[in-house]
Amino acid sequence: MSVLDDIIEGVREDLEVRRALLDDAGIAAAAAAAPPARDAFAALGGVRDGSPAERDTRLRVISEVKRKSPSKGALADIPEPSELARQYEAGGASVISVLTEQRRFGGSLEDFDAVRAAVELPLLRKDFTVEAYQIHEARAHGADLVLLIVAALSDAQLAEFLALTRELGMEALVEAHTEDEIDRAVAVGARIIGVNVRNLKTLEIDRGTFGRLADRIPADAVVVAESGVRSVEDVVGYAADGADAILVGEALVKDASPRQAIASFVEQGSAAKPERVRA
């Protein structure tokens, strides 16, 4: 069993516990009653009904509230997720990601709720989406983005979940790791496509993966570099290879000054961005 398969097995078990407390009809009703979602596509620099050339060249940062990871173990205590989120917002983050997977990442919906109450930025509910219930659940808690991992879903599921996400007014960060997964994301009409340079089967990092795959993504999509950010040099490298945004967790939760770190990422990453050349 791969790491991804093991994580998903635990996610399904934990989901059934929550479903026993609030069934599918109840979570759908809660999602429908939630305030409208914020525009995460625009926050990440996306342009609707216009030319990609109309985008500004600022690198966006998706800053993550992340307590631990399968590869590194415990990263940070984060006693007050709301305070960390406020620092992210003040530093210039465009979106905040909150891990809600419990077993491998130490996350929770309680962490998500604390962040939602603290900031006005769009929020990504970062979890392993395998059922429609989780998408309704994300919206019920005020999420504006959900994560859809191509490797974890069939083409039919990917299309169904993306359609549901948009029906609920949200966006999806559609995550890919290979050329085939990029093509599958593009085929279902993903507008925000993440290239994760971490192999979810081995957990190894290959930062060169981003440069090899980014050019396959259409110019009208937002392309996000995920994983592997240790320093501003990595940010500059991703930006130079065409990233519109980066998703950073570990480097920020371990930094004594995440506000300043984000500001530096935005400034230096923006300066390194080339003219858009993707087809």
Residue 276 has pLDDT above 80, yes or no: no
Of residues 101, 126, 171, 273, which has the active-site annotation?
A: 126
The yes-or-no answer on residue 175 being catalytic is yes
Residue 161 is predicted with a pLDDT of 98
The yes-or-no answer on residue 226 being catalytic is yes
The yes-or-no answer on residue 196 being catalytic is yes
Sequence ranges of the domains in the chain: 3-272
Alpha-carbon separation of residue 248 from 45, 66, 137, 262 (angstroms): 17, 9, 24, 9
pLDDT tens-digit readout, 222-252:
999 999 999 999 999 999 999 999 999 999 9
d(CA 262, CA 258): 6
Of residues 63, 66, 89, 97, which has the active-site annotation?
A: 66
Write a three-state SS string for 51-73. CHHHCCCCCEEEEEECCEECCCE
Residue 191 is predicted with a pLDDT of 97
Residue 3 is predicted with a pLDDT of 84
Of residues 68, 196, 250, 273, which has the active-site annotation?
A: 196
- As a dihedral over the C-alpha atoms of residue 193, residue 107, residue 11, residue 176, rounded to 10 degrees, the angle is 20
Q: Does domain 3-272 have CATH number 3.40.190.10?
A: no
Residue 82 is predicted with a pLDDT of 97
pLDDT tens-digit readout, 73-102:
999 999 999 999 999 999 999 999 999 999
The yes-or-no answer on residue 199 being catalytic is no
Residue 273 Ramachandran class (φ > 0 left, ψ -120 to 50 alpha, else beta) = beta
Of residues 171, 226, 250, 273, which has the active-site annotation?
A: 226
Residue 202 is predicted with a pLDDT of 81
d(CA 87, CA 144): 20
Contact assessment for residue 84 and residue 78, using Cβ atoms and an 8 Å cutoff: yes
Contact assessment for residue 265 and residue 273, using Cβ atoms and an 8 Å cutoff: no
The yes-or-no answer on residue 126 being catalytic is yes
Q: Tell me 205's DSSP state.
A: B
Of residues 63, 69, 94, 227, which has the active-site annotation?
A: 227
The two three-digit tokens of residue 101, written as one number: 């997977």
Alpha-carbon separation of residue 276 from 55, 110, 201 (angstroms): 10, 39, 32
Rounded mean pLDDT of 169-191? 97
What 3-state DSSP class applies to 146?
strand
The yes-or-no answer on residue 66 being catalytic is yes
